[in-house]
Structure 1
Amino acid sequence: MGDIAGTPRKGPEGDPVHTRLIALAKDWADAIVSNDATLIGGFMADEWVIVSESGISAKEQFLSLVESGELTHSAMTSVSQPRIRVYGDTAVSTGRVTNTAHYKGQRFDADEWTTDVFVNRNGRWLCVLSHITAAAPD
């Protein structure tokens, strides 16, 4: 935690929480590419939602699309190391990600800024919210 209440811990490279959250983000990306709804769901809190240009989608909706095969991912790559800030039992991870998805048979290649909000519950970091924004072309 920071020196003053509410001040974030910036998470230097050697900080175990920072290191754990970096690994968690990579493991979650690997799970998404596995297209295994159970594995993906293990990273999400029950109340998880994703916010995108099309609105808010709940965990159940997202995972049912994966489980049915209507939504698959064949690539998910971090463009750079995510920016992580820890606020007690809450952490915010922001980074740029490229991915390839197929939705109802149509391919989508995306370059996005993602923000994930994690909470630590009983020693496990779970994502409660993901927000994606299309990256501006370089």
Structure 2
Amino acid sequence: MDPTIDRQADIAGIEKVVATVTHVQRNELVEEFVALFREDAIWTTGAGHFLVGRDAIAAFTQRVLPGAMKDLIPSYEVVHVLFIRPDVAAVKVRQRYFSPTGEQVTELGEGTPMYVMSKEGGQWRLTANQNTLVATRA
């Protein structure tokens, strides 16, 4: 590994982006959410909607996010980071929802998003992303 690369700082930067996703989802902050993406980012939602570019991501988010977190507290947690290059990382995330009293809302299931992030101008950005629900067996 290249000793000039500070992996801890990069992981902290990636974790900061994921923490920001949590914050903006909890507070339904559409513009702040969209600002986390590269201009040409791609996003596949948990329902399978394929979005290309920040404008499409913004339009979709403006339709679905306001009101979506009523009585829900989303949680996004980095569970694994694979550096593909020093400036590109595949980030596996655990996504859960909780009630205002702290109980997990299991009927919504758990998500397992994959974020491919790129470091640009010293800042990590969401670049190619797939939001997937964890399948459960009855």
Structure 1 length as normaliser, TM-score? 0.71
Q: Runs of 4 or more off by more than 6 Å in structure 1?
A: none
Letter in 2 for 1:85: L
Answering whether residue 50 of structure 2 is matched by residue 51 of structure 1, we say no
Change (3 A) 1:81 1:121: closer
Q: Whose strand proportion is higher, 1 or 2?
A: 1
Count of aligned positions: 119
Alignment deviations for residues 36-85 of structure 1 (CA, whole Å, 9 cap, x no partner): 221111211011121245241233233223335x433423213x542012
| Structure 1 residue runs without a partner (length 5+) | 4-8, 101-107
| Structure 2 residue runs without a partner (length 5+) | 99-106
Alignment deviations for residues 3-58 of structure 1 (CA, whole Å, 9 cap, x no partner): 6xxxxx9x5xxx11112211221112211222222111121101112124524123
Answering whether residue 27 of structure 2 is matched by residue 34 of structure 1, we say yes
CA distance in 1, matches of 2:29, 2:94: 23
CA distance in 2, matches of 1:66, 1:55: 11
Asked if the contact 1:36/1:66 (under 8 Å) is kept, the reply is no
CA RMSD of superposed structures (Å): 2.6
CA distance in 2, matches of 1:50, 1:127: 9
Query: What does residue range 1-138 of structure 1 map to in structure 2 within 5 Å?
Result: 2=1, 11=7, 15-52=8-45, 53-58=47-52, 59-68=54-63, 70-72=64-66, 73-74=68-69, 75-78=73-76, 81-86=78-83, 87-99=85-97, 109-137=108-136
Structure 2 length as normaliser, TM-score? 0.71
Identity %: 8
